[in-house]
Structure 1
Amino acid sequence: MAGDLDLRAGLEGRWRLTRRVEDRVLRADMGFEGEAWFTPVEGGLSYRETGQWTGAPWGALSGERSYLWRFREGFVGVRYPDGSAFHQFKPGLKAEAKHLCGRDLYTGLYRFDLPSAWSLTWHVRGPHKDYSSATLFAREV
């Protein structure tokens, strides 16, 4: 991947997502199936996902979330919808990210195989959380 513009262009559009979550606190192995969209906005991309939880202790609930991806000076800043920072990473075929939520540390790994696929894995450890989440994204055609 040559740079920010290649990543931005490669992510635009619709994706099918499959997520596996192993929560060691809840002692649950859960899934989330759905769709995600990247749409252009000023300074970056808007990300939105929707889907259905399976195997979760709370039952088969629908879920959704959204972020803003900002492309600036060799980094991608991922922000919550209110504009506050979530994490940032340096674009490449692999990219690492970290986020501290209170005393819980999120360590993420992006892998980009654009234009057809990409993935994001989070390992979350701390006094309140202990889980791993692996999400695979496949291009919708």
Structure 2
Amino acid sequence: MEAAPHPVPDALSYLAGEWAVHRELCDRATGHSGWFSGRAAFRTGTGAEWLHVEEGIFEWDGVRRKAGRTLKLVPSADGTAEVTFTDGRPFHPLDLSSGLWTAWHKCGADLYKGTFTVVSPDEWRLRWDVQGPAKDQLLSSVYRRAPS
């Protein structure tokens, strides 16, 4: 049984700091799978924006390499945020006030459905279900707050 969502009044205050992240990846079209394991940091950037920076090791089909990504988050006065790519293109809104949020992102003809679940003050989960002509993937991540 899944844990009940943990409401978060301010998304960025909750996310602030360092997290250990583990992600399982599955390409349903090919049957290939892999994982990412590393660290995620949520911190202030320039102006009002925040940065979400991930770095770690990615293994796909038995091949390991360093990997990472950076996203920007622009806070709103109501405790939500707009997530963008580093070049400013919109990705999705983020509202963790109920502890559960579903985001949608269209990338070409593929549709990304992201489900964010806050499990506790120190753990949240993200599941991206990607479907379309170019992709049929499932990415399941667990974020656990890193000790200070």
Does the alignment reach a TM-score above 0.5? yes
Matched, 1:47 2:36: no
* Matching of residue 83 in structure 1 with residue 88 in structure 2: yes
TM-score (norm. length: structure 1): 0.90
The residue that corresponds to 2:102 in the other structure is 96
Unaligned runs of 5+ in 1: none
Distance in 2, matches of 1:48 and 1:58, equals 25
Residue 117 of structure 1: aligned partner: 123
Is residue 76–residue 91 contact of structure 1 (8 Å, CA) maintained in 2?
A: no
What is the letter of the counterpart of residue 55 of structure 2?
A: T
C-alpha distance in 2 between matches for 1:90 and 1:29: 30
SS of residue matched to 2:63: coil
Alpha-carbon deviation of 1:53?
Answer: 1.4
CA, structure 1 residues 117+2, in 2 after alignment: closer, same or farther (shift >3 Å)? closer
Deviation of the 1:12 alpha carbon: 0.7
1:136 matched residue in structure 2: 142
Q: Relative contact order: is structure 1 or structure 2 higher (C-alpha 8 Å, sep ≥ 6)?
A: 2
Partner amino acid for 1:107? K
Distance 2:8 2:58 in 1: 36
**Does residue 1:108 correspond to 2:114, yes or no?**
yes
Q: Does the aligned pair in 2 maintain the 1:11–1:115 contact within 8 Å?
A: no
**SS of residue paired to 1:14:** strand
> Does residue 21 of structure 1 match 2:39?
no
Cα pair 1:11 1:114 within 8 Å, conserved:
no
Question: Structure 1 vs Structure 2: percent identity of aligned residues?
Answer: 27
Matched, 1:3 2:9: yes
Which amino acid letter does the alignment assign opposite residue 122 of structure 1? Answer: W
With the length of structure 2 as denominator, give the TM-score of the two structures: 0.86
C-alpha displacement at 1:70, in angstroms?
Answer: 1.3
**CA-atom RMSD, angstroms?**
1.6
- Contact 1:12 1:45 (C-alpha < 8 Å) held by counterparts: no
Report the secondary structure of 1:91's partner residue: coil
Residues in 2 aligned to 1:112 and 1:43: alpha-carbon distance in whole angstroms: 24
3-state SS of the aligned residue for 1:128?
A: coil
List alignment gaps of at least 5 residues for structure 2.
1-6
Match of 1:69 among 59, 69, 73: 73
